[in-house]
Structure 1
Amino acid sequence: MTTPTNDTFISHLVELRSRLLKAVVSVLAVFILLFLFPGPSVIYDFLAQPMLASLPQDTRMIATGVITPFMVPVKVTLLTSFIIALPIVLYQAWAFIAPGLYTHEKRLALPLIFSSTLLFILGMAFCYFVVFKTVFHFIASFAPDSITPAPDIEAYLNFVMTMFIAFGITFEVPIAVVLLVKTGLTSVKKLREIRGYVIVGAFVIAAVVTPPDVISQFLLAGPLCLLYEVGIIFANLIKQPLKTEADIEAES
């Protein structure tokens, strides 16, 4: 005989499976559409433009694996599909945890989904249009005349994905700062006091994540520090912490 606790646990598992399935289906639906039009090759060519622009004229990238010319564009298309479907994926996550949230917490969740998605995409756009163009031209300028650079497309994809994730997460810093203050884990005053440690940490993270050149490190650490300050400004505007369950019970 099942207990109410077991029934609740099973119902949560069923709900989780349903939400995960909807998220996966949304990504696959976008993937199929992009696969049909404009196609993986066009999407990869767009992704490769910053690198191709830094290479000598008529120089192309290479593929060393047998199935790499097929798999890499497909991976790029899948990554693009996930980014496009990210609002739906995040909404499914929110819908799963929403029943356990208070009304004021639910009002915070939807703006959080929208802003986090927007900032992540802005981080990737900054990386693509600013960082890649600057870094690739800087690196190419050091190549000796006796060398013809011809990057491997799989290595390029791995590099691009790492940089996209790094800059996407970096642009989420304002949300993280606001949530830290809103949940009462810290205060605006404390965040201002540790500003120096944050700056040092930003350059350490940039040195680990980015290529070993000063320009790319500054292009990551600089926005990280700036966005930290932006987060403090917004946190100061809405610095009242969320009410806990005990606070709500005490007021009732």
Structure 2
Amino acid sequence: MADEFESEHSENGGEGGPVKSFIDHLEDLRWVLIKSTVTLTVAMLICLVAGNYVVDVLKWPLTRAKVSYPGTNQVVTVAFGTNKLGTFQLTADQKRSIDLGTNRFVAVEVAPVALGTNQVLGWKLSPDVELAESAQKLKIDLINLSPAGGFFVAFQVALYGGTLLAAPFIFYFVISFIFPALKMREQKYVYRAIFFGGGLFLAGVSFCYFALMPVALSASQMYSNWLGFGATQWRAEDYISFICKFMLGMGLGFELPVVLLTLVKIGVLNYRTLRAMWRYMIVIVLVLGGLLTTPEVITQVMMAVPLYGLYEISVWIAWYWDQPDRAKARRRLIAGFVTLVFVLYVAWKYGWPWLISHLHA
């Protein structure tokens, strides 16, 4: 009898923990809430104490953003000693008359020049490459416009930073509460989802922080100048809120494969259905790009492209799960991946036009 019970228990996947009463579950939930609250409070206090370092991290994309100059006019940075007087764009006639070389970004130094017994100001071409290229850097000052502005910024830094810092621990507490109700096989799937979901979330946040944010900030400044508004100062609380929400949205957007593959596993979708959704998925990723990024095309497309790539990866994984011969399917996937990497490398090294022309040849 015991053997039959163990066999049936094993076939059903096994329960993850002992059976508890409703009161015991409430007690466990109470401790989960207490531990989560304490963890979040401690994390917020840590971020509050280290607020200046957190702000420096959040300001990094702003230092990487570049100014977009329309046309091909030469851009001249004028300096006097250690002070930068301004940046100017030369017209074609001015460029020919002054002749500052062929580089688009140049720097000139204003210095006293002896003219007989008189001292006049003259200029000379500066060899300082860093000074010349400083014209491309976005110069935005983050300011507070109210006496309480600093407190709001500190609270935002503590809230967003503390939430991010405490999230793994809170997630662990919640999973520890749920796991006893799951079967062994279900726990295995949860472990995989946590691993890949966490990795994808970090990948989305990193992609946003290092690649997308500088472009978005540059585009924001460009549109402000195009509309005729000055874009030299931003409110600090608005900037921090924008940065944190943007990165959070990108991290959540990169969870798309976890959602799709979970639906495949539970039988809501399959490979054929997922493959047939590609037209709708293009619209979905573009809509997500519009909702989670700034309202301009460049950053929307930059987000939509990796999201669609993640969708394609999900399709191939679903195809792999659908194959009866997994070993053969694995070899085909590896061959396809190697081919894709090779094509991307050739396109990066020689350019897409060269690659397309040789493919048609």
Query: TM-score by structure 2 length?
Result: 0.59
Distance in 1 (CA, whole Å) between partners of 2:181 and 2:158 is 35
Tell me which residue corresponds to 1:134. 215
SS in 2 for 1:61: strand
Match of 2:30 among 17, 21, 29: 17
- After superposition, residues 57-96 of structure 1 pair within 5 angstroms as 59-96=140-177
Tell me which residue corresponds to 1:104. 185
Query: 1:239 offset after TM fit, Å?
Result: 5.2
Structure 1 pair 67–102 and aligned structure 2 pair: CA distance change class (3 A): same
Contact between 1:90 and 1:113, CA under 8 Å: does it hold in 2?
Answer: no
SS in 1 for 2:269: coil
Equivalent AA in structure 1 for residue 154 of structure 2: P
More divergent stretch after superposition (122-131 vs 148-157): 148-157
Tell me which residue corresponds to 2:41. 28
Decide which structure has the larger Cα Rg and report it.
2
Equivalent AA in structure 1 for residue 58 of structure 2: L
Distance in 1 (CA, whole Å) between partners of 2:156 and 2:52 is 11
Contact between 1:40 and 1:77, CA under 8 Å: does it hold in 2?
Answer: yes
Distance in 2 (CA, whole Å) between partners of 1:115 and 1:76 is 27
Q: Structure 1: state its 5+ residue gaps.
A: 1-6, 241-252
Structure 1 pair 146–32 and aligned structure 2 pair: CA distance change class (3 A): closer
- After superposition, residues 28-47 of structure 1 pair within 5 angstroms as 28-36=41-49, 39-47=50-58
Query: 1:130 offset after TM fit, Å?
Result: 0.5
Contact between 2:62 and 2:138, CA under 8 Å: does it hold in 1?
Answer: no
Structure with greater helix share of residues: 1
- Higher RCO (C-alpha under 8 Å, 6+ residues apart): 1
Match of 1:187 among 256, 266, 270: 270
Contact between 2:221 and 2:231, CA under 8 Å: does it hold in 1?
Answer: no
Contact between 2:216 and 2:299, CA under 8 Å: does it hold in 1?
Answer: yes
Distance in 1 (CA, whole Å) between partners of 2:281 and 2:48 is 42
Tell me which residue corresponds to 2:14. none
Distance in 2 (CA, whole Å) between partners of 1:159 and 1:147 is 19
Residue 202 in structure 1 maps to residue 213 in structure 2: no
SS in 1 for 2:232: coil
Tell me which residue corresponds to 2:116. none
Q: Percent identity?
A: 28
Query: 1:16 offset after TM fit, Å?
Result: 1.2
Please tell me the root mean square deviation across aligned C-alpha atoms, in Å.
Answer: 2.4
- After superposition, residues 215-234 of structure 1 pair within 5 angstroms as 215-234=298-317
Distance in 2 (CA, whole Å) between partners of 1:80 and 1:59 is 23
Structure 1 pair 71–182 and aligned structure 2 pair: CA distance change class (3 A): same
Query: TM-score by structure 1 length?
Result: 0.82
Distance in 2 (CA, whole Å) between partners of 1:58 and 1:102 is 56
Contact between 1:87 and 1:114, CA under 8 Å: does it hold in 2?
Answer: no
Distance in 2 (CA, whole Å) between partners of 1:229 and 1:58 is 39
Match of 2:254 among 167, 171, 175: 171
Structure 1 pair 148–105 and aligned structure 2 pair: CA distance change class (3 A): closer
Q: How many residues align?
A: 232
Distance in 2 (CA, whole Å) between partners of 1:233 and 1:48 is 38
Distance in 2 (CA, whole Å) between partners of 1:57 and 1:215 is 18
More divergent stretch after superposition (95-104 vs 45-54): 45-54
Query: 1:62 offset after TM fit, Å?
Result: 1.3
Distance in 1 (CA, whole Å) between partners of 2:190 and 2:197 is 10
Q: Deviations over 1:130-161 (max 9, x none)?
A: 11111212332342687242111121122223
SS in 1 for 2:234: coil
Query: 1:99 offset after TM fit, Å?
Result: 1.5
Query: 1:52 offset after TM fit, Å?
Result: 4.5
Q: Deviations over 1:9-30 (max 9, x none)?
A: 3322221121122223233333
Equivalent AA in structure 1 for residue 61 of structure 2: P
Structure with greater strand share of residues: 2
Q: Structure 2: state its 5+ residue gaps.
A: 1-19, 68-136, 324-361
Distance in 2 (CA, whole Å) between partners of 1:146 and 1:177 is 43
